[in-house]
Amino acid sequence: GAEATDVGTVIIGSGPGGYVAAIRAAELGQDVTLIERDDIGGVCLNIGCIPSKALINVGHHYRDSQEENPFGLSMTGKLDWDKAQDWKQHKVVDQLTGGVAMLLKKHHVKIIKGEATFNDNETLNVVQEDGHQLLRFENAIVAAGSRPVEIPSLKFGGRIVDSTGVLSLPEVPEHLIVVGGGVIGSELGGAYSNLGSKVTIVEGLDHTLNGFDKEMTKPVLNDFKKHGGEIVTSAMAKGATQTDKDVTLTYEVDGKEQTVTGDYLLVSVGRRANSDTLGLNNTDVKVGDHGLIEVDNQMKTSVSHIYALGDIVAGPALAHKAMFEGKVAAAAISGASNAHDLHYSLPAVAYTQYELATTGETPESVKAKDLNAKISKFPFAGNGRALAMDAGVGFIRLITDKDSNAMLGAQIVGPSASDLISELSLAIENGLTSEDISLTIHPHPTLGEAIMDAAEVADGLGIHV
Ligand code: FAD
């Protein structure tokens, strides 16, 4: 057989987990080789977080240009879809992935373009365009991510698209049908609704946006419906037929068959770990339920020099989780004894019309754990900056310990919830109390003041409520 090349730390996959692990391992003195079969940046940068947020942004601008606003500004926006697509790809995605490639180069990370599979616990086979090579590694990090789940009766192709296809449709659909109203389906359904599509979301559960409570999702769902969106819940998708101009979905509600016809169908019913394509059966790496690789709190698998992280291990499939785990694994390989993955206040965000963000405990979780918790709220309607932005919808919710006032959790619905939530994660991670927040001067007028106001409510001393 071919001679194997000796390498130090090898990383499979250049998504947010893999590229962050590569840079950090290099910073900590490791000799790093990164293997990627596709584009640098993985799902998140190329076909996930970033291009979806770019389209969502176009949707907000387009909707603003179409709707009457309360300040008497007339706009009649016309969208050049090709230009929007071009901007998304070249000024957003390519700019960012190019930046990551530069950072990898700066840190002397060797990049191999190819598909890696394990031969055994020590060697990888990498299939490249012009042949293949064997690598014998000291340490490996598996950051090979996940892919959309395909339902056999709704095979991707033609007018039936996955989360990748929906980001690059040839036109703005007249009527987009979405099977699966989770975060990805709701975000992209919302974006196309704002872009002028009629959108029908068909969901199996009795609610969409699972993971966020009803009080949080209510303003989002009300807005979506007011804007012409349709949501069908407790619905079982059965199959779809397509012609060259449309696609018809058949689904069942309460034992009754229904159909809906649109011009595109997005199937977004979850993601599956890519652990089945890595030759892991040639190793002693344990793969558990749902194809998730089992790891300890240093991201170490059942083979002590093979690590795994990101979407291919347990936990929410989120880019910031993958990145954090990448730093943990890189530190662990480099001998940092305190490297561990706590996941104490892992925030999650939905970029819907009104953003939803949560960190730490929720009203349901404190109930389930029987914690002695206090829930305090402050509405954006009482925040000057929000009103000046015509964005006085939503609220901040703080969950504190009734005795110590320590921050346990927080939820935000409303403007910039995605950015505001970090202050509350910081508070939770550092054991801060509601007084620590309320006694910190927040600049006026800002959306962040609503956090200070909510903390004052928690102190029993609300000024603006
Ligand atoms: P990935 O990003 O999946 O990267 C894995 C890489 O490994 C890929 O590039 C793949 O080509 C490569 N690979 C796999 N197998 C091999 C092999 N055998 N050899 C070589 N290379 C291989 N998360 C958020 O936190 N915020 C968001 O707003 C958000 N929005 C999203 C929107 C959409 C539409 C989608 C689909 C996802 C979104 N996510 C979001 C989820 C986020 O993209 C993932 O959690 C994240 O990309 C996982 O990172 P990762 O490093 O584990 O793997």
φ and ψ at 454, to 5 degrees? -65, -35
Please spell the DSSP secondary structure of 301-348, one letter per residue: -SSTTEEE-GGGBSS---HHHHHHHHHHHHHHHTT-TT-----TT--E
Q: What is the mean pLDDT of the chain?
A: 97
Residue type, 209: L
pLDDT, residue 1, reads 54
3-state SS class at 235? strand
Chain centre distance of CA 460:
35
Q: Is 177 within any annotated ligand binding site?
A: no
Please list the active-site residues: 444
Query: Rounded CA gap, 96 and 448, in Å?
Result: 28
Rg (CA), the chain: 24
- The protein residue whose alpha carbon is closest to atom 28 in ligand 1 is 49
- The protein residue whose alpha carbon is closest to atom 40 in ligand 1 is 49
Tokens encoding 113: 């373009």
Q: Is 183 within any annotated ligand binding site?
A: yes
What mean pLDDT is predicted for residues 234-261? 97
Task: Count other C-beta atoms under 10 Å from residue 276's C-beta.
Answer: 12
pLDDT, residue 336, reads 82
For residue range 75-130, what is the model confidence (pLDDT) as tens digits?
888 999 999 999 999 999 999 999 999 999 999 999 999 999 999 999 999 999 99
Q: Could you give the count of Cα atoms lying within 13 Å of 206 in the half-sphere of its Cβ? A: 3
Residue type, 392: G
Ligand 1 centroid from CA 117, angstroms: 18
3-state SS class at 224? helix
Best of 12, 43, 57 to mutate for ligand 1, by most ligand atoms within 8 A of CB? 43
Query: Rounded CA gap, 405 and 437, in Å?
Result: 11
Q: Is 184 within any annotated ligand binding site?
A: yes
pLDDT, residue 339, reads 74
Closest ligand 1 atom to 115 CA: 19
Q: Is 98 within any annotated ligand binding site?
A: no
Residue type, 344: Y
For residue range 447-462, what is the model confidence (pLDDT) as tens digits?
999 999 999 999 999 9
Does 341 have pLDDT greater than 70?
A: no
Query: Rounded CA gap, 313 and 294, in Å?
Result: 6
Residue 398, Cβ density class (10 Å: 0-12 exposed, 13-18 middle, ≥19 buried): buried
Share of the chain above pLDDT 90, in %: 96
- Could you tell me the sign of the dihedral formed by the alpha carbons of 300, 302, 303, 304, in that order? positive
* Inter-residue contact 312 to 144 (CB < 8 Å): yes
What mean pLDDT is predicted for residues 347-357? 98
What mean pLDDT is predicted for residues 130-153? 97
Q: Residue 343 — very low, low, confident or very high, per pLDDT cuts 50/70/90?
A: low
What mean pLDDT is predicted for residues 212-237? 98
Cβ of residue 163 lying under 6 Å from some atom of ligand 1: yes
Helix pair 16-27, 319-333: axis angle to 10 deg: 30
Share of the chain above pLDDT 70, in %: 98
For residue range 257-304, what is the model confidence (pLDDT) as tens digits?
999 999 999 999 999 999 999 999 999 999 999 999 999 999 999 999
φ and ψ at 439, to 5 degrees? -90, 5
Indicate the helix (H) or strand (E) that contains 202: strand 198-202
pLDDT, residue 77, reads 85
For residue range 362-396, what is the model confidence (pLDDT) as tens digits?
999 999 999 999 999 999 999 999 999 999 999 99
* Inter-residue contact 230 to 199 (CB < 8 Å): yes
For residue range 115-133, what is the model confidence (pLDDT) as tens digits?
999 999 999 999 999 999 9
- The protein residue whose alpha carbon is closest to atom 11 in ligand 1 is 38
Q: Helices then strands (H, E): number in the chain?
A: 13, 22
Query: Rounded CA gap, 197 and 187, in Å?
Result: 14
Please state whether beta strands 306-308 and 235-242 pair in parallel, antiparallel, or not at all (unpaired). unpaired
Ligand 1 centroid from CA 44, angstroms: 5
Please spell the DSSP secondary structure of 395-449, one letter per residue: EEEEEEETTT-BEEEEEEEETTHHHHHHHHHHHHHTT-BHHHHHTSPPPSS-TTH
This complex has an ipTM of: 0.99
Does 38 have pLDDT greater than 90?
A: yes
Cβ of residue 43 lying under 6 Å from some atom of ligand 1: yes
3-state SS class at 382? helix
* Inter-residue contact 160 to 249 (CB < 8 Å): no
* Inter-residue contact 286 to 272 (CB < 8 Å): no
- The protein residue whose alpha carbon is closest to atom 52 in ligand 1 is 310
pLDDT, residue 142, reads 99
Q: Could you give the count of Cα atoms lying within 13 Å of 277 in the half-sphere of its Cβ? A: 16
Cβ of residue 311 lying under 6 Å from some atom of ligand 1: yes
